[in-house]
């Protein structure tokens, strides 16, 4: 399997979602997605302290559709135990070994059995390489030495009200906010417009900011 296919499989598993625009992914799409990551890395802003702890809920996506599904991302600082566990699970499946000890963040998604170990990459703040734990989620394990390092660009936006996470190869982009202060529809759309990534899809539709809900009544 190519790097791209592995990334795609992981994305699909992760989101239990087959609505990824995979047919559009070819070499030219990868180049385009890498460019988008570079663009997102201009004026980077990312701080671990502002991201770890409480969940982030996905409210908008590009190149993937969640519709009414509400999915949360949780970021944790890594510990030696976490790194040991993920490296034990994954080292023999990796096409290329990361510097395991350099892992900084663990991201879990949906149920905690979907996890991604992240390593700060060179370049802009918020650039990361990632190792998906494809053993823990209980699916058929990948072929030996086949899993590439994934690449992501993360950025905090609008006084850290929003977090964007872009997969630099597949082009799946997630825009998340804190579920205890869900974004107003207008706020979400203006943030989407600023990003200039074109049209994507609202996610977790049906959940309303409670103030907005009152206004609509
Ligand atoms: C997580 O790590 C960062 C630096 O890498 C540190 O500043 C922060 O205090 C840590 N947070 C927790 C909750 O341990």
Pick from 53, 77, 102, 104 the residue to mutate for probing ligand 1's pocket: most ligand atoms within 8 Å of its CB.
Answer: 77
Indicate which residue's Cα is closest to atom 1 of ligand 1. Answer: 77
Strands 173-177 and 56-62: antiparallel
pLDDT over 50 at 216, yes or no:
no
Q: d(Cα 154, Cα 47) in Å, to the nearest integer?
A: 10
- Give the mean pLDDT of the chain: 85
Strand partners, 62: 173
Mean of pLDDT values over 151-171: 94
98-138: per-residue pLDDT in tens? Answer: 999 999 999 998 766 689 999 999 989 999 999 999 887 66
More reliable by pLDDT, 91 or 148: 91
Kindly tell me the sign of the dihedral angle through the C-alpha atoms of 100, 14, 93, 27. Answer: negative
Q: d(Cα 150, Cα 191) in Å, to the nearest integer?
A: 26
Q: d(Cα 165, Cα 23) in Å, to the nearest integer?
A: 21
Residue linked to tokens 């609008």: 158
Q: What is the dihedral of CA 84, 118, 177, 14, to 10 degrees?
A: -80
Pick from 50, 51, 52 the residue to mutate for probing ligand 1's pocket: most ligand atoms within 8 Å of its CB.
Answer: 52
Whether the pTM exceeds 0.75: the reply is yes
Q: d(Cα 132, Cα 104) in Å, to the nearest integer?
A: 14
Could you give the domains of the chain?
Answer: 3-216 (2.40.128)
Lowest mean pLDDT among 15-19, 118-122, 156-160, 188-192: 15-19
Query: 174: which residues sit within 8 A by CB, 6+ positions away?
Result: 58, 60, 61, 73, 164, 165, 166
What share of the chain in percent tops pLDDT 70? 81
The pair of structure tokens assigned to 173 is: 């982009």
- Name the phi and psi angles at 192, rounded to 5: -60, -40
61-112: per-residue pLDDT in tens? Answer: 998 888 888 999 999 999 999 999 999 999 999 999 999 999 999 999 876 6
Per-residue confidence (pLDDT) for residue 143, from 0 to 100:
86
The pair of structure tokens assigned to 201 is: 């899809």
What share of the chain in percent tops pLDDT 90? 57
Indicate which residue's Cα is closest to atom 4 of ligand 1. Answer: 48
Indicate which residue's Cα is closest to atom 2 of ligand 1. Answer: 77
Pick from 48, 51, 118 the residue to mutate for probing ligand 1's pocket: most ligand atoms within 8 Å of its CB.
Answer: 48
């Amino acid at each position: 399997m190519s790097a791209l296919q592995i990334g795609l499989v992981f994305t699909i598993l992760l989101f239990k979602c087959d609505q990824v625009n995979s047919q559009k992914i070819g070499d030219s799409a990868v180049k385009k997605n890498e460019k988008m990551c570079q663009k997102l890395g201009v004026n980077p802003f990312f701080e671990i302290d502002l991201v770890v702890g409480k969940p982030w809920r996905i409210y908008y996506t590009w190149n993937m559709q969640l519709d009414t599904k509400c999915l949360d991302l949780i970021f944790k600082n890594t510990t030696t135990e976490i790194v040991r566990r993920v490296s034990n699970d994954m080292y023999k499946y990796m096409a290329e070994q990361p510097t395991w000890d350099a892992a900084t963040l663990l991201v879990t998604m949906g149920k905690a059995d979907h996890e991604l170990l992240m390593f700060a990459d060179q370049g802009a703040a918020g650039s990361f390489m990632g190792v998906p734990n494809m053993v823990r989620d209980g699916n058929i394990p990948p072929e030996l030495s086949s899993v590439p390092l994934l690449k992501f660009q993360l950025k905090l936006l609008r006084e850290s009200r929003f977090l964007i996470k872009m997969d630099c190869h597949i082009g799946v982009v997630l825009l998340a906010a804190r579920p205890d202060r869900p974004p107003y529809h207008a706020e979400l759309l203006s943030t989407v417009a600023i990003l200039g990534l074109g049209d994507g899809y609202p996610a977790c539709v049906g959940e309303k900011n409670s103030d907005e809900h009152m206004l609509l009544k």
